C-alpha cells in the first residue's frame, strides 16, 4: 500500500481538529500529522514542535529563501505566515506513513500541483450560522483577529466546489465515517 498525502482544508472553526483526532484513532491506517511552521504566536497550551514549529519572521523568511517549504502562504493577511516543511512530508512518506496536512486552500492547490495523487478533502459546516457561533465561542482571539478569520472563513467556503471530496461536519460520527471511507477507497 503506497502511503499518500492527505490534504485537509476548510474554514477556521469548522472542527477539523476534532474530526481528525477521531479519524486518527479509528481509521487503522498509519496516519501522521505534518507539523507546519508559522510566524503566529503560540496560543496558551500550544507546544513548539508539536502544534507548530513557531518561528520568527526572519527565521521563516530564511527557510523560505532556501526552499525548505513545499508550500507557504500568508494566511490571514497582516504578516502571519504558515508553511509545510518539505522535509517533514518526505520523512513521513518514506517511513511508510500517510501524511496529513491541515492547510488552507491556496496551500492545498500548491501541494496538488507537486503531488498529483494527493487526496484533497474539504470540511464544511452545516451552515454559516453554526460556523459563526463556533468562531465567536472560541474566545482566544481579539475582535479584529476574529473578524479577519470570519471573513477568511466565508471566502474559503466559496472554494468548496473545487474539491473532489467534501464532508459536512454536522454529525461528527457520520463525518468521521465518510472521511475514513474516502481515504480507504484510495488505499
CB of 1 to ligand 5GP, least distance (A): 26
Q: What are phi and psi of 133, to 5 degrees?
A: -60, -45
Number of residues that bind ligand 5GP (CB under 6 A): 14
CB of 97 to ligand 5GP, least distance (A): 17
Segment contacting ligand 5GP by CB under 6 A, of 68-76, 122-130, 135-143, 170-178: 68-76
Please, how many CA atoms are within 13 Å of residue 107, restricted to the half-sphere of its CB? 28
**Grid coordinates standing for 96?**
511508510
Segment contacting ligand 5GP by CB under 6 A, of 58-66, 81-89, 157-165, 169-177: 81-89
Q: Which of 68, 5, 2, 79 lies closest to 37 in space, CA to CA?
A: 68
* DSSP 3-state of 35: coil
CB of 150 to ligand 5GP, least distance (A): 13
**Grid coordinates standing for 151?**
471573513
148 touches 76 (CB < 8 A): yes
- Residue whose grid cell is 488552507: 104
Should residue 12 be labelled a site residue for ligand 5GP when binding is judged by CB under 6 A? yes
Distance CA 20, CA 169 (A): 11
Binding flags for ligand 5GP, 98-127, as an x/- string (CB under 6 A): ----xxx-xx--------------------
Among 82, 98, 122, 163, binds ligand 5GP (CB under 6 A): 82
Binding site for ligand 5GP (CB under 6 A): 12, 36, 40, 71, 73, 75, 82-84, 102-104, 106-107
Amino acid at each position: 500500500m503506497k502511503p499518500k498525502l492527505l490534504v485537509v482544508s476548510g474554514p477556521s472553526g469548522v472542527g477539523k481538529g476534532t474530526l481528525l483526532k477521531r479519524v486518527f484513532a479509528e481509521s487503522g491506517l498509519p496516519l501522521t500529522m505534518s507539523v507546519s511552521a508559522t510566524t503566529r504566536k503560540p496560543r496558551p497550551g500550544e507546544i513548539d514542535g508539536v502544534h507548530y514549529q513557531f518561528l520568527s519572521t526572519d527565521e521563516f523568511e530564511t527557510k523560505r529563501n532556501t526552499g525548505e517549504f513545499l508550500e507557504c502562504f500568508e494566511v490571514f493577511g497582516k504578516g502571519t505566515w504558515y508553511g509545510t516543511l518539505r522535509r517533514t512530508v518526505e520523512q513521513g512518506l518514506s517511513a511508510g506513513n500517510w501524511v496529513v496536512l491541515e492547510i488552507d486552500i491556496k496551500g492545498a492547490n500548491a501541494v496538488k500541483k507537486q503531488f498529483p495523487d494527493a487526496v484533497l478533502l474539504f470540511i464544511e459546516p452545516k451552515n454559516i450560522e453554526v460556523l459563526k457561533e463556533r468562531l465567536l465561542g472560541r474566545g482566544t482571539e481579539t475582535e479584529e483577529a476574529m473578524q479577519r478569520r470570519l471573513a477568511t472563513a466565508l471566502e474559503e467556503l466559496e472554494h468548496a466546489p473545487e474539491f473532489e471530496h467534501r464532508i459536512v461536519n454536522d454529525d461528527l460520527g457520520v463525518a468521521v465515517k465518510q472521511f475514513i471511507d474516502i481515504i480507504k477507497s484510495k488505499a
